[in-house]
């Protein structure tokens, strides 16, 4: 089924990079195992996905199957994740023998109920337990997994439903020898689990960037994990609340965020799914994920009309990847979130104070999504300065306005004074590395624009040692500059599109270059966008 879905995405010309495996890849929900009846060849699966340009991510829950049978005599086998764990479970054996599980006040293991049935939780306040847990991820990385999804890490506990007892409230953590109760440690449980996962992935693959997703979090989570907004309902109410959720997470320091497009629980429809993609195509983490016993909602499930709209915005997302990547670099360096409320940029504009139905992606793109069914118009507010309709390039002024927003379109505007980079249309991140880079220049009222471009190898830790390209693109007084770096970028053509600008000729680095005239912009093409350039419009 995994490969069938991946193949269908590619057959339908839909961009896709990751297939995420939920809990059913495990042996009866035992973490760090593979169910060889359902996934008989995980290495082969990962290799076949890689051949398609795709990556594999595995879910990992914090609950370990409570399985003391065979504990005294069991010996760990080579590659135990591929062995039958029904009689003696290696993860429980190791954790119990090293006293790594959360306890009750009387010193016994805190046994609860989650997906595996009787379950124990790891005491992540113990440094040795965190290292052990991190090293267990070899069970995935050795079989081609590229990332880890930490779920159920509040931690979720089925015996707590309806507040029927004091199950977790009677648990105690080591907490650096202080032996403190659940109440003190609950909020940091997920943070420490993600820290253990991140550091384990880094030890196992020291040259690669660890990729971790989490459901629960605490202050500082951005050091270790990306985050999605959990098991949201497939409802218009949940869609509407996703906008302030994204903005608030950004203001709280977590910028690599997203949601399950279309919702996780319940039944949606094609309109809701399309409108969901019209938000999430700009959000760093964009994933379509649905509960197993709910209705399927891949982009093609509701017919070709809705699929075409979803394809349009997924394609645009992939074109905007250079812009998203530069925004994530800015967030890493400065703490400024990528998805942000308008009030962050326009704090003296009282119109933005309670605005929760539109957002900024970076400082330069404003999105005003439709958040209710059966609407083909949207009331939009543009803050001070000049704005441009992203689709037409027509300049707009600060105003409240009612705009057409049929299902095929989400209102989207570029800020005057910005330069937006776009890559080629493609279906995987790694495709077409030498395709043209396009820079769209949107001058402000003074005729000026500026942005910072960012690129690195996209995979390794080398960017931390300066192996990256952070370049300034600027436009002033009819002169465009791209000031470069000595980082080895691929040679590729560069297309520069100037809106609200007139010119009949141009010189690049002193040599004449052609100017192509269009109805509302001019365009200049240069043979190599990896170098520094000075372009004068004449």
So which residues are the catalytic ones?
Answer: 151, 154, 231
How far, in Å, CA of 172 to CA of 41, rounded? Answer: 40
Return all residues near 31 (Cβ < 8 A) that are at least 6 apart.
Answer: 60, 61, 63, 64, 65, 91, 136
How far, in Å, CA of 452 to CA of 318, rounded? Answer: 19
H, E, C per residue of 477-513: CCEEEEECCCCCCCCCCEEEEEECCCCCCEEECCEEE
φ, ψ (nearest 5 deg) of residue 199: -70, -35
**Sheet with 103-104: strands ordered across:** 103-104, 171-173, 180-181
- For residue 63, the cross-strand partners are 121
Q: Please provide the DSSP assignment of 218-278 as one string.
A: -TTGGGT-EEE--S-BSSHHHHHHHHHHHHHHHHTT--SEEEETT-SBS---HHHHHHHHH
How far, in Å, CA of 23 to CA of 33, rounded? Answer: 10
How far, in Å, CA of 417 to CA of 448, rounded? Answer: 6
CB 478 within 8 A of CB 449: no
CB 326 within 8 A of CB 437: no
CB 221 within 8 A of CB 215: no
CB 215 within 8 A of CB 232: no
Residue 60 Cα distances to 34, 182, 333, 405, angstroms: 12, 22, 29, 40
Closest CA to 532 of 470, 465, 468: 470
How many CB atoms lie under 10 A from the CB of residue 107? 8
Q: How far apart are the first and last CA of the chain?
A: 58
SS3 323: helix
């Amino acid at each position: 089924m995994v490969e069938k879905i991946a193949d269908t995405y590619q057959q339908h010309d839909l961009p896709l990079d990751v297939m995420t495996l939920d809990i059913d890849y495990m042996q009866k929900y035992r973490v760090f195992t593979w169910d060889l009846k359902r996934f008989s060849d995980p290495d082969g699966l990962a290799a076949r996905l890689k051949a398609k340009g795709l990556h594999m991510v595995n879910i990992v829950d914090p609950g370990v199957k409570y399985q003391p049978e065979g504990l005294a005599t069991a010996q760990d086998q080579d590659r135990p994740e591929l062995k039958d764990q029904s009689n003696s479970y290696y993860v429980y054996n190791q954790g119990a023998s090293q006293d790594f599980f959360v306890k009750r006040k009387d010193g016994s293991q805190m046994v609860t109920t989650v997906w595996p049935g009787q379950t124990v939780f790891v005491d992540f306040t113990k440094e040795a337990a965190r290292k052990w847990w991190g090293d267990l991820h070899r069970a995935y990385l050795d079989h081609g997994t590229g990332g880890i999804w930490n779920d159920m890490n509040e931690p979720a506990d089925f015996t707590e439903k309806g507040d029927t007892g004091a199950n977790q409230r009677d648990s105690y953590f080591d907490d650096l020898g202080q032996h403190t109760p659940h109440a003190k440690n609950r909020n940091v449980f997920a943070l420490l689990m993600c820290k253990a996962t991140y550091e384990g992935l880094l030890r196992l693959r020291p040259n690669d960037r660890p990729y971790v997703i989490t459901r629960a979090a605490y202050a500082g989570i951005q050091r270790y994990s990306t985050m999605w907004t959990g098991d949201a309902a497939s409802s218009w109410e949940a869609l509407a609340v996703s906008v302030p959720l994204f903005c608030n997470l950004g203001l709280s320091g977590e910028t690599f965020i997203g949601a399950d497009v279309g919702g996780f629980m319940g039944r949606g429809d094609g309109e809701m799914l399309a409108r969901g993609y019209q938000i999430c195509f700009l959000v760093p983490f964009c994933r379509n994920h649905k509960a197993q016993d709910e209705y399927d909602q891949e982009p093609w499930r509701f017919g070709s009309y809705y699929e075409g709209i979803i394809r349009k915005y997924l394609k645009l997302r992939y074109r905007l990847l250079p812009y998203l990547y530069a925004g994530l670099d800015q967030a890493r360096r400065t703490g400024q979130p990528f998805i942000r409320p308008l009030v962050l940029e326009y704090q003296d504009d009282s119109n933005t104070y309670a605005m929760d139905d539109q957002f900024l992606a970076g400082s330069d793109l404003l999105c005003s999504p439709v958040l209710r069914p059966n609407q083909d118009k949207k009331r939009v507010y543009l803050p001070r300065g000049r704005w441009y309709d992203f689709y037409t390039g027509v300049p707009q002024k600060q105003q409240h306005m009612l705009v057409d927003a049929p299902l095929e379109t989400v209102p989207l505007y570029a800020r005057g004074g910005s330069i937006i980079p776009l890559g080629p249309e493609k279906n995987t991140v790694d495709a077409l590395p030498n395709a043209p880079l396009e820079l769209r220049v949107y001058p402000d009222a003074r005729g000026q624009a500026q942005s910072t471009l960012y690129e690195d190898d996209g995979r390794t830790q080398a960017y931390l040692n300066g192996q990256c390209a952070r370049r300034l693109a600027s436009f002033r007084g009819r002169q465009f500059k791209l000031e470069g770096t000595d980082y080895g970028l691929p040679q590729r053509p560069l297309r520069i599109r100037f809106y609200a600008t007139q010119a009949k000729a141009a010189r690049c680095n002193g040599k004449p270059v052609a100017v192509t005239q269009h109805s509302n912009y001019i365009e200049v093409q240069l043979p190599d966008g990896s170098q520094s350039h000075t372009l004068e419009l004449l």
